[in-house]
Amino acid sequence: MYALLFRLVLARFDPEFAHHAGMAVVRVLGAPPFSWIARPLTRPEPRDEVRALGLVFPSPFGIAAGFDKNAVGVRGLSALGFGHVEVGTITAIPQPGNPKPRLFRLIPDRAVVNRMGFNNAGAEAAEKRLWKLRRRRPAAVIGVNIGKSRVVAVEDATADYVASAVRLAPLADYLAINVSSPNTPGLRGLQAVETLAPLLRAVKAAAGATPLLVKIAPDLPDDEVAAIAELAVEEGLDGLIATNTTISREGLITDPAKVAAAGEGGLSGAPLKERSLAVLRIVRAAVPADFCVISVGGVETGAEVRERLDAGATLVQGYTAFLYRGPFWARQIRAGLHAR
């Protein structure tokens, strides 16, 4: 039903417009009386509960960063059955992001390319929203993903991350440091171990008791993935999120002219599946059993969430398949999770 609606209607709209329209629906679903109707249909089962990071996640499956950049849809996403919502990426300084168009569908690959460039209203605006959310908490756990403001030089990145962490950590169930988006110049260079160590240490000090995770790119060589995982453990972080989007365009079946026309940016969705799973395995082998590993990249079905959990993920996230599968995706995942 949704597949038909997608093909006949939604796919004809500009992807970013469609995203905003979808977000408007999500926001409506988050408020009574719609949330009262949606919640019983989508509520995770008690057996789905995951205890991690000192928190209780109603289900292992959450919505990845980038969908709700300004923490405006958390209630709706919770009502749709996501066990956690990672809001952001939020930057210390508000910014418009890259010029449009900046989001492109590769429909035959069930993928998208984005170069949004951390469009967001900034940490101060997010702080206000998170305050409100905390007064009447949704069921979902709220993660807050922070990144570097574009106007700040890479050499000054630490102070910029710390400014966001100081503001947002007290309001977050967990905080995620994003050093892996391909759309902010120089950002991924922060993943080099010698640069990353002082950054993690400073943000850890600023985050206080809030669990802290770092999100990495899939394009790192295997040995660097392992080195970062070990560093995260050494620096006392609580977890790692793997992975962000890829700059690779290998193995796509979409018309190469269409892929070229999309231009630069991060690729997400089904083509990322294999590498994301491989990175999860490398990370899990490098960290202690109680270290939280969130696997994200290319997940589409409940069986694939199960596969990630079996491969050592503590929690799983997704984004792109939500665009292709529609509002009841988290519910479908829940059903598929138990169908062995």
149 contacts ligand FMN (rule: CB under 6 A)? no
Angle at 270 between CA 80 and CA 289, to 5 degrees: 75
Q: Is 181 among the catalytic positions?
A: yes
Q: Minimal CA–CA distance to 218: which of 242, 194, 240? A: 242
- x/- binding map, residues 88-107, to ligand FMN, per CB under 6 A? xx-------------x----
Provide, rounded to whole angstroms, the least separation between the CB of residue 266 and ligand FMN. Answer: 6
User: Which residues, 184 to 243, sit near ligand FMN by CB under 6 A?
Assistant: 215
d(CA 214, CA 231): 10
d(CA 115, CA 113): 7
CB 59 within 8 A of CB 334: yes
Among 268, 295, 301, 314, indicate the residue that binds ligand FMN (CB under 6 A).
268
Buried b / exposed e along 22-43 (16+ C-beta atoms within 10 A) = bbeebbebbeeeebeebbeebb
Among 74, 106, 112, 200, indicate the residue that binds ligand FMN (CB under 6 A).
112
Provide, rounded to whole angstroms, the least separation between the CB of residue 269 and ligand FMN. Answer: 5
Among 216, 299, 316, 333, indicate the residue that binds ligand FMN (CB under 6 A).
299
User: Which residues, 25 to 44, sit near ligand FMN by CB under 6 A?
Assistant: none
Cross-strand partners of 315: 294
Angle at 164 between CA 264 and CA 194, to 5 degrees: 65
d(CA 76, CA 24): 10
Active-site residue (options: 35, 59, 78, 181): 181
Provide, rounded to whole angstroms, the least separation between the CB of residue 33 and ligand FMN. Answer: 30
- x/- binding map, residues 50-79, to ligand FMN, per CB under 6 A? --------------xxx--x----------
Q: Which is nearer to ligand FMN, 83 or 269 (CB)?
A: 269
Pairing of β 84-91 and β 61-63: parallel
Q: Please, which residues have CB within 8 angstroms of residue 257's CB and are 6 or more apart in sequence?
A: none
158 contacts ligand FMN (rule: CB under 6 A)? no
The CB-nearest residue to ligand FMN is: 66
269 contacts ligand FMN (rule: CB under 6 A)? yes
164 contacts ligand FMN (rule: CB under 6 A)? no
272 contacts ligand FMN (rule: CB under 6 A)? yes
d(CA 291, CA 274): 22
Among 245, 254, 295, 314, indicate the residue that binds ligand FMN (CB under 6 A).
245
Helices (H) and strands (E) in the chain, counts: 13, 13
In degrees and rounded to multiples of 5, residue 209 shows phi and psi of -85, -5
Provide, rounded to whole angstroms, the least separation between the CB of residue 194 and ligand FMN. Answer: 22
Provide, rounded to whole angstroms, the least separation between the CB of residue 32 and ligand FMN. Answer: 29
296 contacts ligand FMN (rule: CB under 6 A)? yes
Give the CA dihedral 20, 167, 241, 233, nearest 10 degrees: 180
- In the complex, the residues that contact ligand FMN under the rule CB under 6 A are 64-66, 69, 88-89, 103, 112, 114, 116, 118, 145, 178, 181, 215, 244-245, 268-269, 272, 296-299, 318-321
Enzyme catalytic residues: 181
